[in-house]
Structure 1
Amino acid sequence: MFKKLRNRMLLLNMTTISVVMVAAFGFIYFITYMNIQTENERKLESVPRLAANPTGDTFMHRRQFTNSDEEMFIVRVPMDFSPSFTILVDRNGQMMDVLTHLDMPQDVYDEIATRVWKKQKEQGTINFENRKWQYKITAFEGGRIGLTNRQIPANFENVQYQIRFLDITDSSKTLTQLFVTFVIVGFIMLFILFGISYYFANRSIRPIEENWEKQKQFITDASHELKTPLAIISANTDALLANREETVASQDKWIDYIQKETRRMGKLLNDMLYLAKVENTGEESLPFDLSNTVKDVIASMEAVMFEKGIHLTHSIASEIIVTGEAEKIKQAVLIFLDNAVKYTSVHGKVDIVLKKHRNNAVFLIQNTGIGIPDEKLPRIFDRFYRSDPSRSKETGGYGLGLAIAKTIIERSGGTIYAESNESRTVFTFELKLK
């Protein structure tokens, strides 16, 4: 169940990340593509044209293939000039002349003009000579390129169109490299993000899984604890029913057993309800004097400790103000003291300390007696856990007291921990000072 939940979280997370990443990379690629296309269009429009009275020192050759002579025309060339040329053709697409500064054979120009003309598109791209060229076909008018009818050379009289070409190989490679980079980076990022998502998905699922297991264990333990008193009550009820003719007074023993187990079961149910209430509801947190609270709890337990012959020492710092639910924290202190009294042998010792340490109020309660084994110490705050089950039966405990105390302290923003060795046990909790 939890693996399915984790996998669904991973799928949702990776799908969301993939969509966002594709959208981001796609937007960047689209913007770059549009900028490059706009720049190419601008450069294509600035491809040098034939001019009658040009200025400047830059020039290009008009290679006239109708005879062996070469004529030179001075043309304007922009500063950001890219490899380009213009082919002049007649109405049938036959090449008449070329304006170029590139050294390519006549048949190459002828071939490219034929291929472009057959496309029957006014503009587009074409590949030849291992280069990519962008072209545009426009009508040829002598006046629009700075020539009068009197100045148009004889071999230009049949020219109807001019096809301008711009080398866009570099910009095309830039877009291709950008696309490949996005793909590679995308896969690497997805791989890394998958690992991170997998790690955090497991971390997110772990508390849920632990709580689920604790809940199952709680139900199992509660059922087990309730089963025993119910079995005893049932057995004693059967004993009563088997002796119907006897008087109530003569069957006092069975009735006492039933009452005793009923009280134990009632205490268990009350503890369970109290634990649920502590976890699921909260009272208003207000500042209160923890020193007075601890002193009140000690006063209420002094008679019990005296009867058991337990020696009590305490060191309570005055006016230690904390913020929390006063009654519940008092209940936690009472649980710790009651637990210490239960597990301290006759004529043993209990020591209580309340002090300030930096910004915290620190409460320690130490009792002598048989300690808690190291392997059992981490579970001491678990519900229904008892490090010594036989001892717990004697004291009537169910293993809920420390779980309740831990929940109270943690809900008040504090921390709690335990230490133990062969002869003593120490419980400590800390709360933030007001």
Structure 2
Amino acid sequence: MFRKLRLRFIGISSAAILVVLFSVVGVINSARFIQTQGEINKILTVIADNNGNFPSISEAAKELGAVISVDTLSQYRHFSAILDKKGNVKSYDSTNISDLTDEEIQNYARLLGKRPSSGNFVYQRHTYSYLVRKKSNNERLLVVLDSTNQFQDSRSLLHISILMSVASFIFFVSVVSIFSGRMIKPFVRNYEKQRRFITNAGHELKTPLAIISANNELVELMNGESEWTKSTGDQVTRMTGLINGLVTLARLEEQPEIILTDLDFSAITEDAAEDFKGPVIKDGKTFVMDIQPGIHVKAEEKSLFELVTLLVDNANKYCDPNGQVTVKLSRSNRRRKPKLQISNTYAQGKNVDYSKFFERFYREDESHHHEKSGYGIGLSMAESLVKLFRGSINVTYKEDTITFTVMI
């Protein structure tokens, strides 16, 4: 149990660290991309405002908001073209770029003239950004900038941030894994104290209960059975059952592993359910068994029998008068896993909070006055047993019927 708790703690901590790192990397790189795109758009705008070329050094520095020199401007490789209203190239200027031939420039000019007013494209491992500006005489000015270096800087930042995030993630997970035992140690200590208290208290309470029961029987032998001795006997029996249930639940949860063997689930289910057929029918209810033969599971025989007994007993206790208790065992359509469904009619179950059914001592409000026997720990025990078998259990309510479904 504690190993699973430790692994869950490591998993949750790792997921939280991963979300933080992913968020930081995403924000930083998104900001960098927006900044890069803004710088490129600013350069294209400056060139377009000057009819396809950079203005003077002072004007360029004023527009770009940076220290500009001739060498700085020369690193921005670009070309421009004038397109008529039909998209034909009237003229172009390729003096500031050498990676593209004149034919390629004209072809791209015609193609980009049909696209939106701005954007990016990749050609021969180079990234280009473009801007189309309408002129007064129905002509358009196309400016194309080689933005490979700008985007390369952004990609380098992305790669570095990913590598740093991976290294940081491994480091943090290693630290959490090393110290996770210490982090959950207080919880483990409190849980063990709680379990020992239940076990010790259970054993200590059995002695006075046995004395009370013996004294009560002696009083009945001397004076005969009365309303008071019968009530005392009933409460002693109830307390004894509750103590035994708590001790059993504590022992179930302290088992780290049990040996699972191949068992005939069909035979065990039929054997356990058959014991309730008489009491159910005697109470005026209908008992239905639909058990497919030959279904096997990996489990522990005594615990599996106890699981079926707990669920059928619960269905019998809370079934409506003249209602129906159903025990069905089949294979699920998904992955063909064995599926045990135990249901009972319960007309007043529409407003019940079924999410709390497996909590210890939880009982639906109307049953708190002991008209139904039980202690509110049976379903919690059933859940613990299912976990020992590495299965799942859930409860649903539909058409006035409560159904407990076990998948093993």
TM-score by length of 1: 0.45
Structure of larger gyration radius? 1
TM-score by length of 2: 0.48
